[in-house]
Structure 1
Amino acid sequence: MKVRYDPEADILYISIKDEEVKDMDEIGEDIFVELNEKGEIIGIEIWEARKSVVPEILKFY
């Protein structure tokens, strides 16, 4: 698993598996899951992360 934060875009990305993304679903406000061809979750994107993730965590990325 890899975690990245883009402070300019304010997006926190959590990569679970290194596979090709076939689909993406919004599961909550500004929260998206990336799916592989089997429909398994391989990544999570949190947009406007400063609103929903503790800012102290984001400073590590």
Structure 2
Amino acid sequence: MKKNLKPTYDPEADVLYFLARKGPIEKSVEAGPGITLEYDRKGCVVGLEILHASKVMGKGIIASIHARQSRDE
């Protein structure tokens, strides 16, 4: 089964969030500096948050994600 991650970028906070599936978050775990994984009660990843996204991912990738997000709204 193919799953799509839906990216959302907040330019003011420079935070990139990937939503894997909707549902309540049971726990959050810091996977690395500025990277947080969010899990549901079954232990499945429901989200991924990246702080300082333009530095981590690169400004070109972030600009592309932000442009697509703005177009889809």
Question: TM-score when scaled to structure 2?
Answer: 0.79
Between the aligned partners of 2:53 and 2:25, the Cα distance in structure 1 is: 21
| Percent identity over paired residues | 34
Given residue 5 of structure 1, which amino acid in structure 2 is its aligned partner?
A: Y
Number of equivalences: 61
Map 1:29-40; keep pairs closer than 5 Å: 29-40=33-44
Q: Tell which structure's C-alpha radius of gyration is larger.
A: 2
Counterpart residue number, 1:58: 62
2:31 pairs, out of 23, 27, 30, with 27
Q: Structure 1: 5+ residue runs without aligned partners?
A: none
Higher relative contact order (CA 8 A, sep 6+): 1
Q: Going by fraction, where is strand more abundant, 1 or 2?
A: 1
Aligned alpha-carbon RMSD (Å):
0.8
The answer to which structure has the higher helix fraction is 2
